Each structure stands twice: as structure tokens, then as C-alpha cells.
Amino acid sequence: MSDAVIEARNVSQWYGTFRALTHVSLTVRKSERVVICGPSGSGKSTLIRCFNRLEAHQEGEIAVNGIRLHSKMRDLADVRKNVGMVFQHFNLFPHMTVLMNCMAAPMWIKGVPETEARRLALKFLERVRIPEQANKYPGQLSGGQQQRVAIARSLCMEPAVMLFDEPTSSLDPEMVSEVLETMTSLARDGMTMVCVTHEMSFARSVADRVIFMDAGRIVEEGAPNDFFANPQHPRTKLFLSQILK
């Protein structure tokens, strides 16, 4: 049996007539940590959003934890149970407490009983080291704390894989490290992760593989040491020279 958690083969995706992804193939194995980088507009978000069916690909095949994603899917709950996602702008429910933000999906999507949902929520708020914020509302928290709640909320679904879409890009600089530390600790625990990020120190210390995208394609990929020390493609070299200045 394959240990692939995400298997994307020859995936292409269009927004109307605009082609955002061209023949992208990527396999992510259990406990693997993959970092995706590349210029703005290169299709990074589109690709990972296809992995939990927030976007629909038109060509190629995607399977997540053995579930094939296709145009005739009616029930996305199975996919969403398996795939956690953390966004740049947190996307917490503002009218719910931190605790309820964490309890909602397990109760509503998975049918977990309330007491069990509460136990899970507290466990994962502990995990991201903010259990004392449980009864506050998102607006009462700092950006870094809100993002850690968003991570805890995803973990409450006990997903097979966590997707991160530039989770630190909208944070003030002093809050970036607390979120990266949380992500690093998840990685150390063996969580399967796909992270779109330009935090290259994180990529170096945590990633098994770094993938570089440009214009809707995977242009280059490699182990972090090779990727940073010895980029092959001119686009990769240019990109790295700009962000590692």
C-alpha cells in the first residue's frame, strides 16, 4: 500500500479562461513536510486549495488520504475531515469564542458529542499554548494568538494533513516566531504538512522538500540544502536572490 497522503497527478486548473495550474504533479507522503514557495500569482494557493476542494481542478487526478477528488463529488465532508487548512487571515468565526471556534467543526461535520468536542478543543488549545484564551473572542486576541487558535481549530478535526497558506504573512514581525514555533513543533510530532511560506529559515529547518512554483508550474524541487545552495533554474535563482537579500 502507498503511504501517500496527497497524490496529485498532472493537475491543471483554470479560472474561466485563465490557466492557473499547468500539469502539476506532487506526492506528499505520511509525515512528510513540504514547503511551497514562488512569486505572487504563481498558483501556490490555488494548488493547495485544490487539495481540500476549495478550488476544483479540471484536468488530472488528485487523491487525498485515498479519497479521489472529482467533479461529481457531492459530499465534501469526508475531504474536509481529512484536510486541515490555515489561512493568511486566520478566518476565525468572530462571533464565537475561541473554544466554540474549536468545537464547531468536530460537532457539526463529524458529529462528535459536545463533551468530547470540548475535551479536544482544550487539548489542542493547550497544544498551541493558549488554553487561557478559551473563553475570549477572536477580536480580543493578538494576530499571533488568533493564528494559533486557527491551527488548534484545524487540529481538532484530527486531520491526515495540514495545509498552511502563508500563515505568517499578515502578522506583525514580533508575532511570526510564535506561529513558526507552533508549526515546527507539529512537524516534530510527525504531522504531514504542506506549507506555502516564504519563511526560508522555517523551510531550512523543517522541510523535507522545498518546491518552487512559477506561472502555474512546479519549476524545481529539492531537499532544502540543495535547493538553497544550488538552485538550478534561472527563475529559482532570481527568486531566491530577491527573498534572501
Chain residues in the site for ligand ADP (CB under 6 A):
15, 18, 20, 38, 40-46
Residue 106 or residue 143: which is nearer to Mg ion going by CB? Answer: 143
Rg of the chain taking only CA atoms, in angstroms = 18
* Binds Mg ion by CB under 5 A, chosen from 8, 11, 42, 45: 45
The C-alpha atoms of residue 182 and residue 74 are separated, in whole angstroms, by: 34
Residue 38 or residue 167: which is nearer to ligand ADP going by CB? Answer: 38
Within the chain, strands assigned E span 4-15, 18-29, 33-37, 59-64, 67-69, 83-86, 161-165, 193-196, 209-214, 217-222
Residue 36 or residue 112: which is nearer to Mg ion going by CB? Answer: 36
Minimum distance from residue 197 beta carbon to ligand ADP (Å): 11
Grid coordinates 504563481 are at which residue? 42
Which of ligand ADP, Mg ion, none does 46 bind, CB closer than 5 to 8 A by kind?
ligand ADP
Closest CA to 175 of 141, 124, 137: 141
Minimum distance from residue 170 beta carbon to Mg ion (Å): 12
Residue 47 or residue 161: which is nearer to ligand ADP going by CB? Answer: 47
42 makes contact with Mg ion (CB under 5 A):
no
Question: How many CB atoms are closer than 10 A to CB 9?
Answer: 14
- Residue ranges in contact with Mg ion by CB under 5 A: 45
